[in-house]
Structures are given as C-alpha cells and as structure tokens.
Amino acid sequence: MTMTTTNISELRTLLSGGHIVHVAFTKKDGTEREAHITRNLARIPRDMHPKNVRKVDPKYIFAFDVEKSDWICFHESQFVSLSPFLDMAMDGLPA
C-alpha cells in the first residue's frame, strides 16, 4: 500500500532528497494531472540539466517530469497530493 499525502513541505523534502515523487496537481485549465517528478540530476538527461541558476518565486515547484522528459512548474496552491515512487530495483524503497 502506498502512502499519499497533501503536505507541500513533504514534497519539497522528498525532491530535495533526490527522490522521484508521484504527484498530482491542478493545471491552469482546471484539469488534474499526475506526474513522476524529480530534481535528482542523476535521473535527468544531461542535455536537460539547468544551464544556470535563477531566482524563482519559492511558492512554485520546479521539477523534471521523468515520463515526459521535460521540466514542469506549478504553484504550491495547485498541489493536490503525492506519494513516493517505489523503485522495485531498489527493493521497494523510494527512488
């Protein structure tokens, strides 16, 4: 059974820890979207690594969608829920 939470600070902690996270958020058009996201550069293709660091509004979540192979961004108020993505190659531990 996978634990699901709506805690935005837990999302930030998991992303900062290099995990892949299954997240749901509401898009600007009102539809809900799910994605597997990470900030772990080891899991992001080298050609997709950030070129530079820029100042961003801390209320936004910037992360890499590992299934679409592209960066996504959403406001924390659009966040719905998350659950750690279980990597079976790691014996069920969060990826």
pLDDT higher than 80, residue 5: no
For residues 38 and 64, give the distance between their C-alpha atoms in angstroms, rounded to a whole number: 5
Q: What pLDDT score was predicted for residue 82?
A: 87
Q: What pLDDT score was predicted for residue 57?
A: 86
Q: Output the pTM of the full model.
A: 0.80
Secondary structure in 3-state letters for 11-44: HHHHHHCCCCEEEEEECCCCCEEEEEEECCHHHC
Residues 40-78, buried b or exposed e (16+ Cβ, 10 A)? beeebeeeeeeeeeeeeeeeebebbebeeeeebebeeeb
The residue among 5 and 17 whose pLDDT is bigger is 17
pLDDT higher than 70, residue 90: no
* pLDDT tens readout for residues 25-81: 999 999 999 999 999 999 999 999 988 877 878 899 999 999 999 999 999 999 999
